[in-house]
Amino acid sequence: MNDQLKFITYCGLYCGLCSARARIPQQAQALRESMDREGYPYWGRTIPGFEPFWQFLEDLSDIDKACPGCRQDGGDPGCEIRVCTRERQVDICAFCNDFPCEKIREFAKTYPTLITDGERMKTIGIDAWIAEQEKRAAAGFVYTDIRIGR
């Protein structure tokens, strides 16, 4: 797989803007550190369910365990968009001749920047587009800030 595509979903979202990779791990780590300072690793063991919770919090703090990205078999394995791009042998929906198709239009109802971002990617190229997404991430933007529904 092309390394530059590793964290771009088949539909055209950028994994670095997903809260599971950008925001939640930092929050989970902050909670874990706070609880550690309060002595939970010692006395928390007396709380029913603490050990699995503590492990869950540790895993949530690890970006790669939280979600490896859909190209590394994270996300929904039955995702219709993933299946479609593989069948059509395109790396990203934006580069399909039928973009934006009905599947993408429907998905874009939840992610309102999806189609615009796909058009932008085609216009400026993947490397420049990734650089723009990294700037968004550095500014603290994540998709859940604008996601509709779900």
Residue 2 is predicted with a pLDDT of 64
Q: Would you tell me how many other CB atoms lie within 10 Å of the CB of residue 64?
A: 12
Who's near 144: CB < 8 A, 6+ residues apart? Answer: 19, 23
pLDDT greater than 60 at residue 1: no
- 14-32: per-residue pLDDT in tens? 988 888 888 888 899 999 9
Q: Which amino acid is at 83?
A: V
pLDDT greater than 70 at residue 99: yes
- Nearest to 100, CA basis, from 115, 117, 78: 115
pLDDT greater than 80 at residue 128: yes
- How far apart, in whole angstroms, are the C-alpha atoms of residue 35 and residue 109? 39
The pair of structure tokens assigned to 22 is: 């950008």
- According to DSSP, residue 77 is labeled T
Q: At what angle do helices 24-37 and 50-61 cross, to 10 degrees?
A: 130
Owner of token pair 């920047």: 113
- Return the domain boundaries, the chain: 1-18+79-150, 20-66
Of the listed ranges 19-23, 42-46, 105-109, the least confidently predicted one is: 19-23
Looking at residues 88-94, what average pLDDT do you find? 94
- How far apart, in whole angstroms, are the C-alpha atoms of residue 17 and residue 138? 10
